Each structure stands twice: as C-alpha cells, then as structure tokens.
C-alpha cells in the first residue's frame, strides 16, 4: 500500500497543477487517463487504471489555452507550474504565446508568496520546438526583427524572476525552446529528450540568448560545436556536458522530468524564501564580474537578509530544535 501511495503521489500535484472545471473523483488517475489534459478523470475510471487503457488525448485549440499557469496549494503552496500547451504546433513560440508568457511572468514576479517555478510542457513528447515558423513565414521582413527582440526580452525576463526557475524537459527542446530552458536556473531532462540550437540549419543564428547562455552553461568550445553543426543531443549527453542538472529515465506517462522537478521544488520550498532569492541574485550577478566585485555583491545581498523576521525564526528554530516556519518576511 505504501508503495502504491508513493507511485501515485506526484500525480496529485499534477492534478492540482492543471485542474479541470468539473469536480474530480476521489483517487488519482494515471497519465494515460488524463492524457496531460486539464479535464477530470473519466467517470467510473478507477485511480489504479493502467496508463494505456484510455490514452486518447483531448486538446483545446483556443489561443487562450496556449499557456496554462497553476499556483499549487496545500503542502505545495508556493510552487507555480507554467505549462506550454500548443499541441498542434509542438509548443512553438508564437506571438500569442509570447504575450501570454509575458503576462504570466509579470504576475509571478509581483507575487511574494511564490517560492519556485516549474516550466514544463502539457503536451507529451515535446517541450518546445522553437519559433513558430509557419507564423514567421507570414511575417513581413520588417516584423521579424522586432518579434525576435520581444521573444529575447521575454526569455530574459523569465531568467530574471527572483525565485528559482526549474525547466522540466520531457521532450524535444529545440532552438528557442532550448533558449527558454537555458534561461532557467536548473534544467532537468528525460534521458530520451532531444535538445539543440539548430538555427544554422535555417541559415540564421540563435536569437533569444542561445549564443550567450549556452557557452555559460557548458564550455565555449563545446557550445560552438553544438551551434555551428546544429547538433541535437539527448538528455544523457546533455547531463554529461553539464547542460542539465539531472537526466532521468522517461516513464510510460512521459513526464519523468516533471516529477523530478516537482521533487526539487519541494526541497526548495521549506527554505527561507528571501534567502533563496538573495542567493540567486548573488550568484547571477557575481558570475558576470571579477571575484572581488562578486564578493561585494554577496555582501550586499547578505545585508538584505539580516533584518528579516525569517532570519530570527531560523535561529529560534535551531535553538528549539524544531522545523522553522518561514513567511518571507
């Protein structure tokens, strides 16, 4: 029984992340039943139903559904799941998706209760295929530059969110899709996931930060090789190169990276939220300057946590040998 609970527990979080409008039956449906769909489980379908019993997936073509953002609750309060959802376009980056992501990032940035963000895909087998080339083909040449600039700005804003951002790469992350993941603090990939900055195949270059972030994530020479040759690598190779923090074996439901990302978010959640934000700021700013300047940045960030109530709570909890309860104050 304990083993069964352990296997189904992650799906409770997924159900909370993408709930349907109708009341959800008791128990936890398999992903085959859910099909990464936000709808409720099929009536009468038991929680333990095999994943392959109802694998048909139903998606909405409504542009308002291109992005699904859910603020988790209960023990997972503070975790936000941002799910890309353009199944027919393989989550390609469109004007509408950029606009929706800007709005989502802005809302998250203003919410002091958010402790971590998971960027994932609601579509099985794909993270993001890059730019929407069909939409791009319809653009006038004068529109391309401004759109790429806006997409670049979005990805920069995503990376500048004050709390940790975890990319869960359960499928292909190509071009702008990988650039989006590179802006995240931590990347987790399924071993079978495919990743690459493949723009040179189209006689262009990565235009949303890839030429800058990839060399900072791995070595400069390796980044050049991957970009020059438009190479696509799997999750295991990405882990070997240091492109992702973890490579996990894909499960039958196709969301192993999401599970690992959720586990990591749960490890971050209990820590002092202001301290985590200041640590991110110190690391991000410090790695762009010399050591002496970096140490000054660390000192400035440390000074921000000294007057917080959370710091006093941490000391009190240590003294009383109990778990601290941080409030982000």
73 near 16, Cβ under 8 Å? yes
**Mean predicted confidence (pLDDT) in 223-238:** 97
Read off the pLDDT of residues 284-306 as tens digits, 9 standing for 90 and up: 999 999 999 999 999 999 999 99
Q: Where are the domains of the chain?
A: 1-58, 63-268, 273-320
Read off the pLDDT of residues 63-81 as tens digits, 9 standing for 90 and up: 778 999 999 999 999 999 9
Rounded Cα distance between 204 and 224, Å, is 14
- Inform me whether the pLDDT recorded for 57 exceeds 90: no
**Mean predicted confidence (pLDDT) in 38-57:** 33
Q: Dihedral (C-alpha) 133, 139, 142, 145: value to the nearest 10 degrees?
A: -30
State the pLDDT at residue 26: 28
- Inform me whether the pLDDT recorded for 219 exceeds 50: yes
- Please provide the average confidence, as pLDDT, over all residues in the chain: 82
State the pLDDT at residue 325: 85
Among 83, 130, 175, 176, the one annotated catalytic: 176
Rounded Cα distance between 211 and 182, Å, is 11
**Mean predicted confidence (pLDDT) in 160-171:** 96
Alpha helix stretches (DSSP H) within the chain:
2-17, 31-34, 95-110, 133-137, 141-159, 176-182, 210-217, 220-228, 235-241, 256-268, 273-286, 291-305, 309-320
313 noted as active-site residue: no
Structure tokens at 111: 């919410």
pLDDT: is 22 or 207 the higher one?
207
State the pLDDT at residue 294: 95
Among 131, 172, 183, 282, the one annotated catalytic: 131
Read off the pLDDT of residues 189-204 as tens digits, 9 standing for 90 and up: 999 999 999 999 999 9
State the pLDDT at residue 61: 58
131 noted as active-site residue: yes
| CATH class for the domain made up of 63-268 | alpha beta
Read off the pLDDT of residues 106-159 as tens digits, 9 standing for 90 and up: 999 999 999 999 999 999 999 999 888 787 777 778 777 888 888 899 999 999
Q: Do domains 63-268 and 273-320 have the same CATH topology?
A: no
Top mean pLDDT of 51-60, 220-229, 316-325 is at: 220-229
Among 193, 196, 199, 238, the one annotated catalytic: 199
| CATH-assigned architecture of domain 273-320 | Orthogonal Bundle (1.10)
Phi and psi based region of residue 60 (left: phi greater than 0; alpha: psi -120 to 50; beta: remaining): beta
State the pLDDT at residue 324: 86
8 near 47, Cβ under 8 Å? yes
Q: Partners of 174 in the beta sheet?
A: 196
Rounded Cα distance between 173 and 180, Å, is 9
Among 104, 151, 171, 179, the one annotated catalytic: 179
Read off the pLDDT of residues 16-29 as tens digits, 9 standing for 90 and up: 444 433 333 323 32
pTM to 2 decimal places? 0.80
What whole-number percentage of the chain has pLDDT above 90? 64
225 noted as active-site residue: no
176 noted as active-site residue: yes
């Amino acid at each position: 029984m304990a083993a069964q609970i352990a296997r189904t527990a992650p799906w409770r979080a997924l159900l909370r992340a993408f709930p349907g409008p109708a009341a959800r039956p008791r128990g936890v449906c398999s992903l085959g039943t859910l099909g990464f769909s936000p709808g409720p489980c099929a009536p009468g379908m038991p929680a333990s139903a095999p994943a392959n019993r109802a694998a048909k997936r139903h998606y909405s073509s409504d542009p308002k559904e291109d992005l699904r953002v859910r603020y988790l609750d209960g023990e997972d309060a503070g975790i936000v799941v941002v799910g890309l959802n353009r199944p027919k376009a393989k989550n390609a980056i469109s004007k509408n998706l950029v606009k929706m992501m800007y709005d989502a990032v802005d809302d998250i940035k203003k919410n002091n209760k958010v402790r971590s963000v998971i960027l994932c895909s609601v579509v099985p087998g794909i993270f993001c295929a890059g730019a929407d080339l069909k939409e791009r083909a319809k653009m006038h040449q004068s529109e391309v530059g401004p759109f790429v600039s806006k997409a670049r700005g979005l990805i920069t804003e995503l990376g500048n969110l004050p709390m940790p951002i975890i990319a869960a790469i359960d499928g292909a992350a190509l071009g702008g899709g990988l650039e989006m993941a590179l802006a995240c603090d931590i990347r987790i990939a399924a071993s079978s996931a495919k990743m690459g900055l493949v723009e040179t195949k189209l006689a262009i270059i990565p235009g949303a930060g890839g030429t800058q972030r990839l060399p900072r994530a791995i070595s400069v020479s390796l980044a050049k090789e991957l970009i020059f040759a438009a190479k696509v690598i799997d999750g295991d190779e990405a882990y070997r190169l240091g492109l992702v923090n973890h490579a996990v074996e894909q499960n039958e439901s196709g969301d192993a990276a999401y599970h690992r990302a959720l586990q990591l978010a749960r490890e971050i959640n209990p820590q002092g939220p202001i301290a985590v934000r200041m640590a991110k700021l110190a690391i991000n700013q410090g790695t762009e300057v010399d050591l002496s300047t970096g140490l000054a940045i660390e000192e400035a960030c440390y000074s921000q946590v000294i007057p917080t109530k959370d710091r006093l709570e941490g000391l009190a909890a240590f003294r009383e040998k109990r778990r601290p309860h941080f409030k982000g104050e």
